[in-house]
Amino acid sequence: MNIIVKQDYIQMSKCAAEHIAELIKKKPNCVIGFATGGTPIGTYRELIRMHKEGLDFSGVTAFNLDEYYGLGIDLTKPYSQDQSYTRFMYEELFKHINIKKENIHIPDGTTKNPEQFCKEYEEAIKEAGGIDLQLLGIGGDGHWAFNEPGSPLDSRTRIEKLSEQTLEDNYEAFYKGAGFTREQMPKYAITMGIGTILDVRSILMIANGYKKARVVAEALEGPITNQITASAIQMYKGEATVILDEEAASMLGRLKRSDSVS
C-alpha cells in the first residue's frame, strides 16, 4: 500500500486527479470506478480542468459504486433537490467531460427488481473487462461505498441498509441545505460489495480532514474487520494508493497510544 500525504485538500485532489489522468493517458479505453461524496469533488474539478486542456475521456468506461435506493436522476428539478448520486456524477463530472453516455454505469436506484439489477451490474463489470482503477472515499463509519458496518468482506453488489451514522453524515451533506427532512432520506442503497471492490486492478483511496483521521487510521492500521469495511484495503492484492491530506493522516501511527490514553 502506497500512502501519500499532501498538505491540504487541494493538493490531495490534484494528486488524485493526476493519478487518474496517468491511467487514462496510458490506457485510453480504461474502466474507472467513480465515487460520490464531498471528498472527490476537488478531484473531479481538477479532472474537468485537465479535460479542458486535452485529457480525453472518449474511450473511458465508468462504473459508479452506489446509488440511493428509490432515487433516480430528475433533471426537471434543481440540483439541490435531486439527491441521486446519478445527478451528482452528472453535475460534478460527466456533463463537463467527453465521456460517452453509453459508457456510464451507475446503479439504478429506481429498479423494480434490485436483485436482478445487482446481478446484471456485476455481469456488466465483467463484460467491460473488470475495473482498472477504483476511486474510493471512506465514510465516517469506515464504509467503502455503502458497505456499512457488518457487511461481509466478500459481499457483492446488493441492496444495503444505511447505518445511522451514514444517515446523519449524508443528511448534513445533502439534505439540510435543501430543506429535506431526515424522514425523507432513503434508508437503503444499491452498492458494489467489498468483494466486488477487491476484484478491481487498482485502488485509489482519498480522505481529508480531521473528522476522518481516526477512521483512516483504523482502516489502514487497525484489525481487518467488517465493522470498518474499508479495512479490507489491508487484504487487497492489487496496487493500492491512498492519498490523504495532513489532517486525515494525523492519527496514523498513533492508534495504540491514543487508545491507551482514552
List, by residue number, the catalytic residues.
66, 141, 143, 148
Instruction: Kindly tell me which residue out of 23, 32, 34, 39 binds ligand PGA, with binding defined by CB under 6 A.
Output: 39
- In the complex with ligand PGA, which residue's Cβ is closer, 107 or 139? 139
- 65-124 residues near ligand PGA, rule: CB under 6 A: none
CA 255-250-44 angle, to 5 degrees, is 125
CB 226, min distance to ligand PGA, A: 16
User: Rounded to whole angstroms, how far apart are CA atoms 130 and 198?
Assistant: 11
Applying the rule CB under 6 A, the residues between 145 and 204 that interact with ligand PGA are 173
137 binds ligand PGA (CB under 6 A): yes
Q: Binding segment for ligand PGA among 16-24, 31-39, 77-85, 181-189 (CB under 6 A)?
A: 31-39
| 139 sits near ligand PGA (criterion: CB under 6 A) | yes
Give backbone dihedrals phi and psi of 169, rounded to 5 degrees, phi first. Answer: -60, -45
Q: Residue 261 CB, nearest distance to ligand PGA (Å)?
A: 26
Q: Nearest Cα to 148, choosing from 128, 168, 129, 133?
A: 168
Q: Does 37 bind ligand PGA (CB under 6 A)?
A: yes
Min CB(173)–ligand PGA separation in Å: 5
Number of other residues whose CB lies within 10 A of the CB of residue 75 = 10
If the CB atoms of residues 118 and 205 are measured against ligand PGA, the closer one turns out to be 205
Cell of 33: 470506478
C-beta closer to ligand PGA: residue 41 or 120: 41
Element (H, E) at 245: strand 239-245
Of 13-21, 79-87, 113-121, 136-144, the window that binds ligand PGA (rule: CB under 6 A) is: 136-144
Shortest separation between residue 215's beta carbon and ligand PGA, angstroms: 10
Q: How far apart are CA 252 and CA 262, in angstroms?
A: 17
**Hunting for cell 459481499 — which residue is that?**
155
Smallest distance from ligand PGA to CB 146, Å: 8
111 or 191, CB closer to ligand PGA? 191
Using CB under 6 A as the binding criterion, the count of chain residues that bind ligand PGA stands at: 7
Tell me, letter by letter, the H, E, C secondary structure of 82-150: CCCHHHHHHHHCHHHCCCCHHHEECCCCCCCCHHHHHHHHHHHHHHCCCCCEEEECCCCCCCCCCCCCC
**E strand or H helix at 18:** helix 9-26
**Among 31, 118, 131, 138, contact with ligand PGA (rule: CB under 6 A):** 138
- How far is 80 from 197, CA to CA, in rounded Å? 29
Interface ranges with ligand PGA (CB under 6 A):
37-39, 137-139, 173
